[in-house]
């Protein structure tokens, strides 16, 4: 390989880079550097050096892949194998859908790979990564037998600054292309913790299923016995399925999305659950909660898993206001001692700020919130210790008491 372009960074970045942060922002790169996207570069800072991929016109100028060598196909295969081995407990538990490659968390920044049975869905979050996609597809196939690999491009991925997007937010799919093998069936059935789901690998949000809430769904199941449950922002009803299996007396799912009532009903039938214990309301969740709160409608357990309210750092304070209002409404819809399972998928609001928001929501609702459980990301969404931007998921369960 020809000598790589060299980029020298300001010395104050050394500790951050040495601690494993994989991003170099454009504001830290000399302005005279002009390279095409997809160029491998060597970046140095004091005694630290690393190898990364250059992107020409985004806030993140370089994503660092390695501090040991120039990445190549063999190196990438090693990372794919290491990620595969990390997820062995999921396979041992019979889980057939999980995130195999979680970008920066698996030393492959800007790339994700989700496995659904014998199929893999790739997503790319940077320009100039065509060579990487080829290497990655080869490495995936070499690691385990597969039937097909699909590349999905989200509308936001290549148009919106990556530094201002959440790590795992849903988005509109712009195009889907078969990279290798055969197209996945529509829909495909996958399983986690014994629950089955239909997944559409071409059109669904989050590559077909919200994989990061797997363990949180199981926790909700453990809380559900004999309870009346409301699941807001239900998508295709995953939390609802677990609540039903956990013995909830009734479950109401709510989402405004087109076709989600039908998707949830199909998942209920797939699992053999009694449809009489479940109903789906197609509505805006804010409006529904306000209507229930004012009408005195009360639940024993309420799940809130809204889409990101802060896709950009500038939206953080507006997001906190929205989260506060939403959670206050939810608290008003609970019986005394009822449980609120509240989630946030935005990296712009950290865990402590999220819990402070719950306290503010409780005050606004004239309630007290007693936190009984909190969780982050599961084993298939690992995060480097020095990369706080990768810790996007918060899941907090509180017991809501009257003042």
> Taking 70 as the threshold, does the pLDDT of residue 165 lie above it?
no
Which residue, among 56, 85, 79, 80, has the nearest Cα to 66 in the 3D structure?
79
Q: For residue 345, indicate whether it is catalytic.
A: yes
> Taking 60 as the threshold, does the pLDDT of residue 166 lie above it?
no
Which residue, among 38, 46, 39, has the nearest Cα to 13 in the 3D structure?
46
**What's this model's pTM, rounded to 2 decimal places?**
0.92
Across the beta sheet with 60-66, the strand order is 6-8, 40-45, 48-54, 60-66, 23-25
Residue 253: DSSP 8-state: E
Token look-up 């196939």 returns 141
Least confident of 2-11, 146-155, 164-173, 365-374: 164-173
pLDDT band at 162 (very low <50, low <70, confident <90, very high): very low
259-277 pLDDT, tens digit each: 999 999 999 999 999 999 9
pLDDT band at 209 (very low <50, low <70, confident <90, very high): confident
Give the contacts of 398 (CB within 8 A, at least 6 positions apart).
339, 340, 342, 358, 362, 369, 370, 371, 372
349-391 pLDDT, tens digit each: 899 999 999 999 999 999 999 999 999 999 999 999 999 999 9
> Taking 90 as the threshold, does the pLDDT of residue 203 lie above it?
no
pLDDT at 239: 98
Active-site annotation holder among 45, 232, 254, 345: 345
Average pLDDT over residues 232-252: 98
E strand or H helix at 238: helix 238-245
pLDDT at 348: 86
Least confident of 83-92, 203-212, 232-241: 203-212
Q: Answer for the pair 22, 387: CB distance below 8 angstroms, yes or no.
A: yes
pLDDT band at 170 (very low <50, low <70, confident <90, very high): very low
pLDDT at 1: 56
Instruction: Please provide the DSSP assignment of 121-187 as one string.
Output: EEEE-SSS-HHHHHHHHHHHHHHS--SEEEEEEETTTTTS-GGGS-TT----EEEEEEEEE-PPPSS
Domains of the chain: 6-66 (2.30.130.10), 73-188 (3.30.750.80), 210-402 (3.40.50.150)
CA distance between the termini of the chain: 68
């Amino acid at each position: 390989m020809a000598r790589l372009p060299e980029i020298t960074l300001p010395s104050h970045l050394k500790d951050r880079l040495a601690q494993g942060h994989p991003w170099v922002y454009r504001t830290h790169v000399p302005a005279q550097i002009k390279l095409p996207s997809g160029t491998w570069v060597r970046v140095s800072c004091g005694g630290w050096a690393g190898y990364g991929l250059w992107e020409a016109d985004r806030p993140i100028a370089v994503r660092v892949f390695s501090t040991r060598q120039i990445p190549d196909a063999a190196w990438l295969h090693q990372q794919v194998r290491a990620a595969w081995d990390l997820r062995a407990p999921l396979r041992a538990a019979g889980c057939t859908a999980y995130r195999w490659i979680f970008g920066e968390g698996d030393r492959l920044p800007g790339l994700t790979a989700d496995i659904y049975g014998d199929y893999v869905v790739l997503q790319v979050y940077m320009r100039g990564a065509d060579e990487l996609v080829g290497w990655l597809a080869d490495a995936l196939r070499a690691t385990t037998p597969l039937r097909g690999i699909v590349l999905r491009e989200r509308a936001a991925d290549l148009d919106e600054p990556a530094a201002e997007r959440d790590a795992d937010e849903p988005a509109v799919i712009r195009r889907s292309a078969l990279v290798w093998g055969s197209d996945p069936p529509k829909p495909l059935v996958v399983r986690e913790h014994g629950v089955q789901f239909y997944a559409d690998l071409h059109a669904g949000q989050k590559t077909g299923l919200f994989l990061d809430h797997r363990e949180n769904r199981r926790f909700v199941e453990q809380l559900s016995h004999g309870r009346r449950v409301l699941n807001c922002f239900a998508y295709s009803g995953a939390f609802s399925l677990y609540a039903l299996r956990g013995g909830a007396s009734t479950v109401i799912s709510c989402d405004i999305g087109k076709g989600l009532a039908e998707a949830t009903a199909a998942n209920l039938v797939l699992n053999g659950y009694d449809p009489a214990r479940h109903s789906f309301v197609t509505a805006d969740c804010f409006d529904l909660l306000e209507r229930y709160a004012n009408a005195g409608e009360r639940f024993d357990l309420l799940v809130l898993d809204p889409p990101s309210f802060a896709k950009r750092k500038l939206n953080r304070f507006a997001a906190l206001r929205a989260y506060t209002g939403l959670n206050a409404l939810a608290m008003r819809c609970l019986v005394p001692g009822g449980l609120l399972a509240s989630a946030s998928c935005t990296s712009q609001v950290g865990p402590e700020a999220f819990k402070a928001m719950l306290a503010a929501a409780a005050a606004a609702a004239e309630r007290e919130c007693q936190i009984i459980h909190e969780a982050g990301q599961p084993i298939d969404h690992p995060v480097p210790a020095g990369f706080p931007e990768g810790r996007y998921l918060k899941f907090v369960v509180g017991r809501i008491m009257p003042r």
